[in-house]
Chains A and B, each alone.
Chain A
């Protein structure tokens, strides 16, 4: 019997296993550390960082929906400098990859953060391009091929870490967007971010979220996410990190087969603090059952119906 090797290499970042905690669902790891051994997690994409501290949106910021949830946290975070001073030292106590997820209002802000973080002790930078571009009429950077090309190529100039571009699914052609990111210098693609949604309290006729709309995540988005990972991984040569509704090892394997080289687990971390570890165990069991010795052998092993 061959050994099961769970490790993966994503654009030069070595992960002990392919399971990464998704941004915004794992804080900076401190809360989950009470319940799970962070050493057992492949990597942690931290709460979305902005140049300066951000207050976030008015509550309520969460609404449960069928097999999912909407959130409108609004990027509440203590800012990139606080992260470097106070959170990296904590996370570095553990052997898990640190991915800094960044968001900004302008391209300049993204570039400045990429520059600052390139000198910090982190393993990769993940660009959240779902934020509205204030200078371009507040259309999200990631919504157009021009927008994604520009932000990726600009950030690339300042970024001396592996650069992961995280795509928003709220677009017409995800593969065009992914191709634009690759051409502009992305080292890897992660997807999907949340789908824009709304939930209404019919008694008050008001949206449940104070922000009116929010991002949908959880099992409800999984089929959309799997399809997008499939399309993107056929289009680009760089590694793809898949996410959207992963709760179990089987969910994760679906993404790997569709073409992902690693996965991120989001909403599941809120319900089951040990979700990342359970997902990892599930992947390992699948590999044993099917005689896969390396995760990379599952990646893109999809057999399409003809």
Chain B
């Protein structure tokens, strides 16, 4: 269950161009979080960056009672976060949202991540009991690449694509998935990344009849289900479509449920 927490920051360090890693001491998050969940952070006291910022949980250390976040500096909130120092308190709510379905029946899995969407997938690979885990990561260019070694250690195979061809295959990560989709016989595809990537992954999964879960992103007011600002359109069982909340009904959805508009 999610809680209002005031936790101590263990460290903040630069991980790649414009991307930071933050390690936070939290027995509650490390022992309760599941892959795909996030924390909602008040980046500073007062009225600057008034709303909380959602950031995915990237890994947990249950023995030591701590967890890692990775965030890209985009605006005021993440800028303030990057300036935090070890020993300072972090005002968070979490763990929030529903995680990925890690049913052991999924023996052969594909993990597809794009940009800042790769972070929850590392946690997923850590926890997944699948026999074959193929990771496909996409980045805009080589400067944004990080955590490759961590992904490699936790996957059967790892391939990367960059849009400008500065590292790995030139093009989109979804091209790599499409290339392998027939030969690999995946039981499940997990995806997190930009909207167009998620739509494409969903199409590929649908076409080949493979189960697929996507982690959606949306601007959030509260992050815990109260304000209805984080809408995502999904299909109900009767075929009608309705808005549900990304924060508390998601952020992970079965790709078949999501109405990609």
The chain A residues found within 8 Å of chain B, CB to CB, are 24-27, 30-32, 34-35, 47, 55-64, 66-69, 71, 73, 76, 208, 218-220, 267, 269-274
Contacts and interface: CB of A to CB of B under 8 A. Distances in A.
Contact of B226 (A26, A60, A62, A69): A26
A61 B50 contact: no
A267 B47 CA distance: 12
A46 to B, nearest CB: 11
Given A24-B227, A27-B225, A269-B226, A59 B219 contact: yes
A25 B242 contact: no
Given A56-B231, A71-B229, A270 B221 contact: yes
Given A35-B4, A61-B219, A69 B50 contact: yes
A24 B222 CA distance: 11
Contacts of B3: 35
A74 to B, nearest CB: 9
B201 to A, nearest CB: 20
B133 to A, nearest CB: 32
A56 B227 CA distance: 12
A30 B228 CA distance: 13
A273 B47 contact: no
A19 to B, nearest CB: 16
B2 interface: yes
A56 B232 CA distance: 11
A218 B50 contact: yes
A273 B224 contact: yes
A31 B243 contact: no
Given A35-B3, A63-B219, A219 B224 contact: no
A286 B49 CA distance: 28
B50 A31 contact: no
Given A59-B218, A62-B220, A64-B51, A25 B231 contact: no
A61 B4 contact: no
Given A35-B3, A67-B47, A219-B47, A62 B224 contact: no
B50 A64 contact: yes
A35, A68, A208, A269 pick with most chain B CB within 10 angstroms: A35
B222, B230, B232 pick with most chain A CB within 10 angstroms: B222
Given A218-B50, A271-B42, A55 B242 contact: yes
B145 to A, nearest CB: 24
B126 interface: no
Given A31-B248, A59-B219, 15 more contacts: A24-B227, A25-B222, A27-B228, A31-B225, A34-B2, A35-B93, A59-B230, A60-B218, A64-B50, A67-B50, A76-B231, A76-B243, A218-B47, A269-B226, A272-B4
Contacts of A208: 219
A61 B224 contact: no
13 contacts: A24-B227, A25-B227, A34-B1, A35-B93, A55-B243, A59-B218, A59-B231, A61-B219, A61-B229, A62-B219, A73-B227, A273-B93, A273-B224
